[in-house]
Amino acid sequence: MQTRRAFIKLLCGLGAVALPWTGLPRRLQGSLESWAVRPPVKFVRLPAEEELDLKGLVAAHLERTAWDDVNFLTSPDLGGRRAGSVGEGKAAGYLIQEMAGLGLVPMGSPKQDGKPGFAHAFTIPEAAATVVERRLVLRPQAGLKIPALNLLGAVPGERAQEIIMICAHYDHLGIYQGKLYPGANDNASGVGCVLEVMRRLVREEIKPKRTVVAAFWSAEEMGFLGSQAFVENPRFPLERLVAVFNVDTVGNGPAGDFMLWADGLNSAAKVMADAAAQAGASASLGPTNGHNSDHISFARKGIPAVTLLSRSWLVKNHTPEDDANLLNRDQLKLAAEVLYRAVKTAAFR
């Protein structure tokens, strides 16, 4: 169980997390500070931009791959990234670091100084964990609400008001009865793909026609609460969203064997299916069998949205064995390639 106190500890902990990251730009420092609206928390002073080797910093970020992200996000130190937990806060710090390092434009809530930040804060209820058919699930409980953070950053396009969103949830299930649920496939794999595509866009230095927004949702495992909070309190008018490409559990199973979840073959689903074919993979609409992912929050608002997932996504899902060993690195690479091609089709025309 997490409490408000735990979140405050998390905020304090971020100072410690930030300490070894001597190469962070000042705007990241601002983002971290903006989380601590109340109560006030002192952070370790980070060096000013002029003191940094920013070129070296960006190069280091550009070289990272989805596999690197998976390895970081599944480390025991992050405690399975349950929404609202200290471990999830560390994951959030990592994602802000990566987005700031790539020079993405913050698309979250305004900070205290009025400037935009990467974090979009909302509240979640406490959750009870139970095992259903050997899989761990989280059920939101009534009562106390605790803070959680979505994270958003963009590469601006020529027609900045038209937005292509690529997104993945970064929360998972945490620790239950002493066992770590690392969530490598669910959904460090998707987070890694989104980051890898953003790195590739930054590396290419070609301005897209449409703005590409990367979004990382919290509290998906509690019923898509992060993406739902975003569509209820969006940081830009939702009409600007041309397509939403969500990736969830994309790293396991035979290479190239994907599936799509969408409300029919909408324009986003079509682009994703074509992107898979271009990449030498297959991705056709599949049954949800009562499951779902964050695309649903956007589909309910009438926005073309789709989730890409491995056809064998359910293997070891929500078990402690969903660790890096479950992943097929070729499949993970292909998933990032499919997402990249979908973005190239949708955002560069």
Residues in contact with Zn ion by the rule CB under 5 A? 186, 221
For Zn ion, give the closer residue by CB, 30 or 183: 183
Coil/strand/helix, residue 105: strand
Sign of the Cα torsion 290, 293, 297, 303 reads negative
Angle at 94 between CA 32 and CA 318, to 5 degrees: 125
**Amino acid identity, position 80:** G
For Zn ion, give the closer residue by CB, 98 or 221: 221
Report the residue number whose CB is nearest to Zn ion. Answer: 186
For Zn ion, give the closer residue by CB, 126 or 186: 186
Residues whose CB is less than 8 angstroms from the CB of residue 158 and which lie 6 or more positions away in sequence, other chains included = 207, 208, 209, 210
> Cβ 169 to Zn ion, closest distance in Å?
8
> Cβ 15 to Zn ion, closest distance in Å?
30
For Zn ion, give the closer residue by CB, 35 or 181: 181
Instruction: Give the tokens for residue 341.
Output: 């091609």
Of 47, 161, 28, 184, residue with least CA distance to 102: 28
Residues whose CB is less than 8 angstroms from the CB of residue 177 and which lie 6 or more positions away in sequence, other chains included = none
> Cβ 303 to Zn ion, closest distance in Å?
22
* Alpha-carbon distances of 74 from 90, 173, 192, 340, rounded to whole Å: 11, 12, 11, 23
> Cβ 181 to Zn ion, closest distance in Å?
9
> Cβ 184 to Zn ion, closest distance in Å?
12
The alpha helices in 19-126, defined as continuous H runs, are: 26-35, 54-62, 66-73, 86-101
For Zn ion, give the closer residue by CB, 164 or 168: 168
H/E stretch holding 192 reads helix 189-204
> Cβ 119 to Zn ion, closest distance in Å?
22
For Zn ion, give the closer residue by CB, 217 or 245: 217
> Cβ 221 to Zn ion, closest distance in Å?
5
For Zn ion, give the closer residue by CB, 271 or 296: 296
Of 271, 285, 279, residue with least CA distance to 334: 279
